[in-house]
Structure formats: C-alpha cells, structure tokens
Amino acid sequence: MVFIIIMIEEYNPWWRGGQYLAEDEDYRKWSESRIRWYPSLMREIDLKPYSLHFIFGPRQVGKTTLLKLLIKRLLGKGVDPRSILYLRCDAIADHRELLEVLGQYLALRDEWHVKNSYIFLDEVTYPREWYRALKLLVDMGKFRRDVLVVTGSTSMYVRAEVETFPGRRGYGRNFVMYPLSFREFATIVDAELQGKIEVYSSLTPGEVASKTLKMIPWLPRLNRYLKLYMECGGFPEAVKSYVEHGRIPARILDDLISWIRGELAKLRRNESIAKRILKAVVEKAPSPLSINSIAKEFEIRSHKTVFSYLDLFEKMYVTKTLHYIDPNKAVEIPYKNRKIHLTDPLLYRTIAGWCFTSKPQESIIVEGTVATHLSRRYEVGYWKNHREIDVVVKDDGRLLGVEVKYGEKPARALIKVGKMKNVIVLTKAKYNMNPPSIPISIFLACLP
C-alpha cells in the first residue's frame, strides 16, 4: 500500500502545491522547448462533472502533453491540487491493480475532504481488462461528482471496450487527436501567421477563392513550410527535431513502427501480412485499388484478410480509405475500387522503410495530405470515369470536387458531373478565380 501511495505521489508533484507542476518531466519538456503549442483539443474538452471522456489517437501525437496542459489550466483556475490525479497506466498490470490504485486515491481524497476530482488516466489500455475497474467504480457512484479523461490506443476502439460504458458517460465525449495539421504546423514554426490566416467556414468556390486571395502575399512562406511539412509531418517530436536540427532521429521513426507493431500484437494480428498490405498501400498510392488485387499481387490468401487489416489500419489512424462516390446519387459505392492514403507525410517515409520499399514521389504524398486533411472534417471519396476527381467532398448535402495538380502547368478542371457542380483545382502556386485554382499550401492552411 505504501508503494502505491509513493507511486501516485510521484506522478502528481502538484499535490505539494501548484507550483510543483514544473517538476513534472512531461510539462518541463514542453515548457523548455523552443517550439511548443497548445493542442486544439484544449478548446473542445469540457471539464464539467460528471464526465467520462475518451481520447484516441496514434502514438506521439501529444496526448500526454494535452493532459498535463489541462492540469495546468485547472491549477491556474485555483482548483485544489489534491483534487487532480494523473496516472500513467503502463506500469499497471490489470484491472485489479488499477482498481487498487484508484481505491487508494479515493481513500486519500476522503482524508483530505476533497469533494470532486479531475482524474486523468493515460494509456489506459495497458492494464488487462482495464474497463472492468472503471465500470465498477462508476456503477458504485464513486465518480459521480468527478471528471475522468482517459487516453488510449486503438485497441480499446477495435475491441469495442469503450462501448461497455452505455449510460455511464455523463457529459463525456469521444475525441480523436491527430498529428498536427499543416495549419497548426505553419503557425507553430512562424508565429507571425497566427491571426493572419482566415479559415474557410464552408468550401463554396466563392468563399475559397476570396479568402485565398487575401493569403497570396504569404504564399512564398507557406510553400516553404509545406516542403518542410512533407518531410516531417505532424508528429510533434518529429516537428521539433526537424525544425530545430534539420533531421528526424531514428528513434522517432522506430517509435512509430513500435506503435504499429504493438497494436498488431495486442490484437493478435500477423505482422507479415500487415507489412505486405501496407507495402501495397505505399507502392500503389494514389491509384484506386481492389481488395482482390492486393490479395493476389501481395500473396495474401483471402480478400477478407485484406479487408480486415485495412479496416484495422483505418481505426488506428494509419490509413484513410476513399470510396468511389456516385456523383448522380451522392452515395458511396463500396464494392468499387478504393483509394487508400496514409494519414501523415512522415508515415510514408517510416512505413516505406519498414516494408523495404521506396517512399512515393512528393506529388503523391501531397495528394494524400490533402485527402486526409479534408477527411478530418468532411466525408470524402473520389470519382473516376474517363478522368478522375482526386477527392470528392460531401459538405451539407453538396458535392465538391478537389483535384490536386502538383505540376507546373495544371489543367482546367471538369466543372460539372451529376450533383458535383464545382471542382477546385489545387496547384503549386497558381491562383485563379474562375474556375478556382488555389495554391495547395494556402488551401491546407485555411482548412478549419
């Protein structure tokens, strides 16, 4: 019992006073870094009791830093430091140990006469059957005046462990924490851009064209940052290393592969099959693919196996699948070929190396970046007949086509196909009002 209390106190130096947050290693690294930022989820997570929030996302996207910054915000508001509990769950074996640790804190707060708590459980999927401990304490009413913020890996989503809390979430919500978007990246490396970039409230061609026009003076700078972003992506540690030192240490790339391998092991998936399917994604992007063709060319016995792994990679936020969209009915056709993109530029380099293949050309990575950025806010697909629309966006019942033309002389866009009345062409540098031709760097920077 004494060991448990010492462990809890080690994770919560602010119990001695709010100023001791500075002794926390994660917070110290953030505060001393030349490049730092507040994650956008800071504005979205409402710490209103009773709430049970879940935060999903890949490794290295900054989930732990987010929790420490939420703690900083609470301390800044004068919240009793002893009402704030942070636990790293990777040192806890199973639900019994988790229950014991939480029980010790609940006993301590009773002694301290703390009425309500803010409980942050980081990487909660490490303890086996973790949800049993939380579910029991929720059902016993132990958290009825509290806020719980829980981060975890894809496995709790794939195994439907979060779904074991029906009616037990209060004001809680699910959140996805992605790697930094290009907009976030650009404003981090160039503070002058903060407040200068106007966000598109909708993707109507008129609004996109007018707000893009205001950003034209910043185009050379944004194009330079887009080149950087294509190298380092949006994983915070990679961004810091690349911007400060001009390189990304091998350990960061190794950590990304370890994350993928760890998730595969937790879910008892075959690593060799996973590598072959990811190799297909890297080598064939951005061409539309059939599941059968992947199975045949990459020697996988069943197309059902390919389908299940692609579904897993999507839930891991490693890939994003774009289905064919019928422009006349504005619906997806799931049996047609699909386009599959990796979700961050750095993943192309990392996974290509892991799978012993070449990283795709920059134009392919740029198209994938546009598609996956749009997918964070909108439903997206693609369309192809005698020609192809790279990304079809469904926005308030409307269809908008987006073509990514990374060449120096982009062709004119197809104006109308069924319910897709407008197509925006994204270019390296060219701007035009009608039909809209928008520089890629400005378009990505203005996406909400």
Task: Please enumerate in sequence order all residues whose Cβ is within 8 A of that of 80, keeping only pairs 6 or more positions apart, or say none.
Answer: 114
User: Other C-beta atoms within 10 Å of 297: how many?
Assistant: 13
Confidence of residue 433 (pLDDT cuts 50, 70, 90): confident
Angle between helices 362-375 and 219-232 in degrees, nearest 10? 100
Confidence of residue 151 (pLDDT cuts 50, 70, 90): very high
pLDDT at residue 206, rounded to an integer: 84
Tell me the one-letter amino acid at 183: R
3-state helix/strand/coil string of 103-116 = HHHHHHHHHHCCCC
Let me know: does 26 contact 142? Beta carbons within 8 Å.
no
Confidence of residue 407 (pLDDT cuts 50, 70, 90): confident
pLDDT at residue 152, rounded to an integer: 85
- Asked if pLDDT for residue 408 goes beyond 70, the answer is no
Let me know: does 134 contact 127? Beta carbons within 8 Å.
no
Residue owning tokens 């420490």: 68
pLDDT at residue 422, rounded to an integer: 87
pTM, entire model: 0.90
**Rounded distance between C-alpha atoms, residue 6 and residue 296, angstroms:** 56
Q: What is the mean pLDDT of residues 281-290?
A: 94
Q: Report the percentage of the chain scoring pLDDT > 70.
A: 97
**Rounded distance between C-alpha atoms, residue 31 and residue 27, angstroms:** 6
**Rounded distance between C-alpha atoms, residue 344 and residue 361, angstroms:** 14
**Rounded distance between C-alpha atoms, residue 291 and residue 141, angstroms:** 48
- Asked if pLDDT for residue 155 goes beyond 90, the answer is no
Pairing of strands 118-122, 84-88: parallel
Of 338, 318, 325, residue with least CA distance to 379? 325
User: Other C-beta atoms within 10 Å of 282: how many?
Assistant: 22
Structure tokens at 17: 């006073």
Confidence of residue 162 (pLDDT cuts 50, 70, 90): confident
Domains of the chain: 2-176 (3.40.50.300), 182-446 (no CATH)
pLDDT digits (tens, 9 = 90+) for 40-98: 899 999 999 999 999 988 888 999 999 999 999 999 999 999 999 999 998 899 999 99
User: What average pLDDT does the structure give for the chain?
Assistant: 90
Beta strands in 289-342 (DSSP E): 319-326, 331-333, 339-342
pLDDT at residue 233, rounded to an integer: 95
pLDDT at residue 356, rounded to an integer: 95
pLDDT at residue 412, rounded to an integer: 61
Does residue 6 or residue 249 have the better pLDDT? 249
Let me know: does 424 contact 401? Beta carbons within 8 Å.
yes
Q: What is the mean pLDDT of residues 291-303?
A: 90
Confidence of residue 419 (pLDDT cuts 50, 70, 90): confident
169-183, 272-286, 363-377, 415-429: range with lowest mean pLDDT: 415-429
pLDDT digits (tens, 9 = 90+) for 92-142: 999 999 999 999 999 999 999 999 999 999 999 889 899 999 999 999 999
Of 256, 257, 306, residue with least CA distance to 277? 306
- Asked if pLDDT for residue 5 goes beyond 80, the answer is no
Of 360, 382, 362, residue with least CA distance to 440? 362
**Rounded distance between C-alpha atoms, residue 236 and residue 373, angstroms:** 17
pLDDT at residue 413, rounded to an integer: 57
Q: What is the mean pLDDT of residues 328-355?
A: 94
**Rounded distance between C-alpha atoms, residue 428 and residue 219, angstroms:** 10
Query: What length is written for the chain?
Result: 448
Confidence of residue 357 (pLDDT cuts 50, 70, 90): very high
Confidence of residue 411 (pLDDT cuts 50, 70, 90): low
pLDDT at residue 1, rounded to an integer: 52
Long-range contacts formed by 350-355: CB under 8 A, 24+ apart: 350/253, 350/256, 350/257, 351/257, 351/260, 351/278, 351/281, 351/282, 351/318, 352/282, 353/253, 354/257, 354/260, 354/275, 354/278, 355/275, 355/276, 355/278, 355/279, 355/282
- Asked if pLDDT for residue 156 goes beyond 80, the answer is no
